[in-house]
Amino acid sequence: MWGPKRIGFNLVIISRYLIKEVGAALLAVTFVLLLIFLSNQLVRYLNYAATGKIAASFVMQMLGFEVPYLLALLLPLGFYLGIIFAYGRLYADSEMPVLNACGFGIKRVLLLTSLLAIAISLVVLVLALWVNPIIADQKSKGIASDNVLSTLRPGRFQVINEGRTVVYVEKISRNRQQANNLFIAEEPKNKLNDDKSWVVVSAAKAYQAKNAERQKFIVSTDGYRYDGTPGQNDYKIIQFKKYAVRLPDAPITTPHQEQEAIPTTVLWHHYQDPQAAAELQWRLSLPLSVFVLMLLAVPISRVMPRQSRYANLVPAILIYIIYVNTLFMARNWVELKMVPDLIGMWWVHAVLCALGLILLVYQEYCQLRFSSLFAWVRKK
């Protein structure tokens, strides 16, 4: 006999089965996406190290800083694709229609998926509001406190400061504290347009030093400074025992990355500032996108029994691309004061939620029609 306890026990088994399927797909998709994006970031940071923007020893640390940031972005996408892959397979293998016929309808599937969405959104919320700002601040401090000599490559000319400075060292000590045979060619910033003069510094040894404002300098010893225009013989030559040259830090951050290091509480207190409002709305949009994408993924995952489980993958990806790009566009609109803060980025989520609800209602209607037709056939 099928009593209430037996039915409840079966519902628990079905729920665990669906959670296992979605969870496995979520982990697999997120792991693959994380590897792809980390590989892309690794190439980027290796390029920075090769051009002297960051130290080679700092590459893996920078890559580790990217993991929480990427997880906050990829977990909603992984959950979205995980639902489509898991439920799509169940539809293609006729398992989901059987569950629907046994009373485990779309409402129960949506409720069960919502429980998973709550857990994932909490993880994304913690990453976006607290963890990532701390990591972004630590990353900026790590870059700022980096040793200048550690960014130089022995035996190689390096162009920095937007092409206005060329640096060459023949040898650097193991502890990266001292360099031998230093050469620096610098184009003065305040020269006239028709002035082609350069300043060239050549020294036997060099080391790093900082002033009271914590600005970094290369202190060269036992060398010469040459001031003049290439091709002319009116050079001014100065011999020195010590000469300090300030090398500017190569910028590797964007304005948005600088905003990421600001604590969430500070953004809340300065919400009247458009940039602070845009950054705070973006951080809140990440956990909110988990529920929006869930409302879209559940109806999109439905395929006919003989269709491929990946039949709806292309339109699902197109919807996600439109959704994310619209969020970026809305973020820029908030920064430029083109839309009020009250509307901000929330209208994007509202539109996608409405689309997901329409698809859910349509799927429920189709399911009811199928059930009615099945009952009519049985009566006949």
In this prediction, residue 256 carries a pLDDT of 61
Which residues 6+ apart lie within 8 Å of 325 measured at CB? none
Of 217, 246, 275, the residue that ends a domain is 246
Residue 136 sits in the same domain as residue 88: yes
Give the model's confidence band at 311: pLDDT under 50 very low, under 70 low, under 90 confident, else very high. Answer: confident
Structural tokens at position 223: 């060398």
pLDDT tens-place string over residues 1-44: 444 444 454 678 888 889 999 999 999 999 999 999 999 999 98
Structural tokens at position 348: 């994007």
Of 207, 223, 246, the residue that ends a domain is 246
In what helix (H) or strand (E) does residue 264 lie, and over which residues does it extend? Answer: helix 264-269
Of 194, 219, 246, the residue that ends a domain is 246
pLDDT tens-place string over residues 270-298: 888 999 999 999 999 999 999 999 999 99
Q: What is the spatial distance between Cα 323 and Cα 330, in angstroms, rounded to a whole number?
A: 10
pLDDT tens-place string over residues 325-352: 999 999 999 999 899 888 989 999 999 9
Q: Which of 320, 342, 319, 345 is nearest to 332 (CA)?
A: 345
Number of domains comprising the chain: 2
In this prediction, residue 130 carries a pLDDT of 93
**Spatial contact of 170 and 180, defined as CB atoms under 8 Å apart:** yes
Q: Give yes or no for residue 257 having a pLDDT over 50.
A: yes
Residue 127 sits at the vertex; the CA angle it makes with 121 and 130, to the nearest 5 degrees, is 120
Question: Over pLDDT 90: what percentage of the chain?
Answer: 34
Give the model's confidence band at 157: pLDDT under 50 very low, under 70 low, under 90 confident, else very high. Answer: confident
Q: What is the pTM of this model?
A: 0.78
What's the mean pLDDT when you consider all of the chain? 82
Residue 155 sits in the same domain as residue 174: yes
Residue 36 sits in the same domain as residue 174: no
Residue 359 sits in the same domain as residue 343: yes
In this prediction, residue 374 carries a pLDDT of 44
Domain holding 226, by residue range, is 151-246
Give the model's confidence band at 170: pLDDT under 50 very low, under 70 low, under 90 confident, else very high. Answer: confident
Q: Averaged over 159-186, what is the pLDDT?
A: 81
Q: What is the spatial distance between Cα 47 and Cα 121, in angstroms, rounded to a whole number?
A: 34
Residue 24 sits in the same domain as residue 120: yes
Q: Which of 147, 15, 138, 127 is nearest to 69 (CA)?
A: 127
Q: How many other CB atoms are there within 10 angstroms of residue 200's CB atom?
A: 17
Residue 157 sits in the same domain as residue 218: yes
Residue 118 sits in the same domain as residue 156: no
Q: What are phi and psi of 250, to 5 degrees?
A: -80, 120
Residue 234 sits in the same domain as residue 270: no
In this prediction, residue 375 carries a pLDDT of 47
In this prediction, residue 193 carries a pLDDT of 54
Say which residue, 111 or 231, is predicted with more confidence.
111
pLDDT tens-place string over residues 88-140: 888 888 888 777 777 777 888 899 999 999 999 999 999 999 999 998 887 77
Q: Averaged over 370-376, what is the pLDDT?
A: 48
Q: Give yes or no for residue 377 having a pLDDT over 60.
A: no
